[in-house]
Structure 1
């Protein structure tokens, strides 16, 4: 099976978020795809299968479970297809039949994702303590993604968080992850964030595009701007530009291929 490793949301190798992109020649069952994703060990492995012309089925697996929607693995898959075919645009369809429209924009890739709402929520204090947060400015919950959103007061505190992941995973059940965000203190960016998801993936996702389905709208409403630049202050770091247009969010980013080979099945 043709397989690629791609660093997403970066123009530099060994930065951003690594994803595996697999192009099976035959249909694989969910158990096999999960085993492959666990073997590879990246936060996400994408499996893409051509339906017709520029339309592809796409499925995403973390080392633990199947994920409905993933930004960086969609970007990685798009990078592979744009580099290996003559396509200028792609339509991916995930297992929920959500359609993701992708196009090449110079050396960048523009992805169209749906927008989901968040709602006010209560968060256990033990979860906040496990993250090491001193003060929370706002608490929201995205029911579609099952992700808690916490806004804190400073980007410097965000970058310095060192969660106790054992305490974190024991502090809550029934969620996919916790996103912590703050307004940026860097003039290049509008907001910064980090995403912790030991419930369904790795301890921390290096760069997360899928959360922009609700995070972009959150910051658009707070900052009164429709076009924003985002920075993920993980160890590997990553950047992207986002734009809210009606019920769609457009995510613009770069990706770099770092490995091409055959996965032996």
Structure 2
């Protein structure tokens, strides 16, 4: 008889268990096969559940499952796993062996708790072809005229490919809507395993602080339609901004996300001159009596 391992629940990129992005975490999944991990992820019913399946040298082997399928990488579940490990041992540097390659993550303890910062794999950028961009806009009910004139739509990679659209108009950003089933079918057709990322600029670096964006991330899986806080997308956005010359590295960008689904959170994005993007945030346990 197989014993079900302990399943932890954390909210990432927030200080509150009711904010940010919930993730399941299984710290000992060494006895689980793929079907068991998929079943647990469906039962947890968060955007992703992370499974530590063993050790690969000095790295923890980590896999990620949404309620419907395995995904190559998940930033918020990586942060949640790192914080869970640090709470049970000590803070410091960790390495995760993930399906997209090695991920370096550093945990630090402050007065308000533990922060985790992961560095993504190297980034990449690709152009939309015109028909795919048109279909993406149609899916979201967005007019091409709502898109930024200086931050063009692109496909950005930092472990997962994310379409990135920047919408200048606040009403268009707040008001776009989509059919989850149609979005899921379209994203599967395009081979986009994670989210469609829509950004709205809310503060420039000239205002005296880091450049800030608000994000909405389309991610229809199970009962979820829109992701509250997406670490992999934040890393992809960092790579996107660097590649199009919208920031001068080293640069700091803050992404607010989750307001539209009632779970606000914040992701801090550090953009170096080259290589992976560092995304950091807090994670806190979700009590059994909190949804």
TM-score of Structure 1 vs Structure 2, range by shorter chain:
0.7 to 0.9
Which of residues 157, 171, 180 is equivalent to 2:172?
A: 157
Aligned match of 2:255: 230
Given that 1:7 and 1:255 are in contact with CA atoms closer than 8 Å, whether structure 2 keeps it comes out as yes
Give how far 1:113 is off: 1.5
Aligned residue pairs, count: 260
Aligned match of 2:156: 142
Give how far 1:147 is off: 2.4
The change in CA–CA distance for 1:207 and 1:25 in structure 2 (over 3 A counts) is closer
Q: How does 1:1-265 map to 2 (within 5 A)?
A: 1-24=5-28, 26-51=30-55, 55-104=59-108, 106=110, 107=113, 108-122=115-129, 123-134=132-143, 135-137=146-148, 138-142=152-156, 145-171=160-186, 173-176=189-192, 177-185=195-203, 190-198=212-220, 202-220=224-242, 221-224=245-248, 226-232=251-257, 233-235=259-261, 236-245=263-272, 246-259=274-287
- Structure 1 segments, 4+ long, off by >4 Å, are 185-189
Q: Unpaired runs of 5+ in structure 2? A: none
Query: How far apart are the structure 1 equivalents of 2:124 and 2:81?
Result: 26
Q: Which moved more, 1:167-176 or 1:127-136?
A: 167-176
Query: How far apart are the structure 1 equivalents of 2:221 and 2:154?
Result: 18
Q: Unpaired runs of 5+ in structure 1? A: 261-265
The change in CA–CA distance for 1:25 and 1:44 in structure 2 (over 3 A counts) is closer
- Structure having the larger proportion of residues in helix: 2
Q: Which moved more, 1:92-101 or 1:8-17?
A: 92-101
The change in CA–CA distance for 1:42 and 1:181 in structure 2 (over 3 A counts) is same
Give how far 1:210 is off: 0.8
The change in CA–CA distance for 1:25 and 1:202 in structure 2 (over 3 A counts) is closer
Given that 2:103 and 2:118 are in contact with CA atoms closer than 8 Å, whether structure 1 keeps it comes out as no
Give how far 1:100 is off: 2.8
Give how far 1:101 is off: 2.7
Q: Which moved more, 1:195-204 or 1:233-242?
A: 195-204
**Alpha carbon RMSD of aligned pairs, Å?**
2.6
TM-score calculated relative to the size of structure 1: 0.86
Query: How far apart are the structure 1 equivalents of 2:226 and 2:202?
Result: 20
Deviations 1:89-108 (A, max 9, x none): 21111134333333325332
Query: How far apart are the structure 1 equivalents of 2:57 and 2:128?
Result: 44
Query: How far apart are the structure 2 equivalents of 1:49 and 1:87?
Result: 21
Q: Which moved more, 1:151-160 or 1:42-51?
A: 151-160
The change in CA–CA distance for 1:190 and 1:119 in structure 2 (over 3 A counts) is same
Q: Which moved more, 1:151-160 or 1:9-18?
A: 151-160
